[in-house]
Amino acid sequence: MYTDLWSFAVSLYARPGVEAACLSLQDQGGNVCLLLCATWLEARGVKPDASRVAQLQQLAEPWHRQVVTPLRSLRQQWREAASLDPAQAHLREQLKALELAAERELLERLQTASLAWPVAEVTESDWLERLSPDGVKAYRDALQKLRVAAASTQDAVDGD
């Protein structure tokens, strides 16, 4: 079993279709770090409840809004100009690395907040639905893609 959220998230994101599902959910207002954390909690069998959900949301929202989103926005704004200017392209790659570092920090904070919660309490849970904004819930196919990929990611590790 994956013991850390970052390793789990990296392995999950590399699975076929997961990147596209995450980007689709992100375009609809979903916080991908929270959704990846949800799949990790589901894989670990952590029981969801309202206070745990609120704790993770309250932890993630300010960091995502103040750090991750501005970095992502600037990187996206530079896409066209960077394709024409090698110096800006280099800076854009540095900005992309900084955005990834900010997401990693958020995942580490989410892990720290949830690590003491008992594991193997449940075999099925609804973390993904609980940590998805209302508009994202309409994207059940993308959420299901994450859930299935997370289960196969965990199965691959457990089989080692």
* Residue for token pair 């076929």: 16
Q: Whole domain around residue 133: which residue ranges? A: 5-158
Indicate whether 105 pLDDT > 90: yes
pLDDT at site 2 = 56
pLDDT at site 121 = 84
pLDDT at site 106 = 98
Tally of domains within the chain: 1
pLDDT at site 140 = 83
Amino acid 99 reads: E
Indicate whether 86 pLDDT > 60: yes
Residue 17 φ/ψ, nearest 5 degrees: 85, -15
Question: What percent of the chain is modeled with pLDDT above 70?
Answer: 92
Cβ atoms < 10 Å from Cβ of 79: 10
Indicate whether 143 pLDDT > 80: yes
pLDDT in tens, 17-66: 999 999 989 988 899 999 999 999 999 999 999 999 999 999 999 999 99
d(CA 114, CA 108): 10
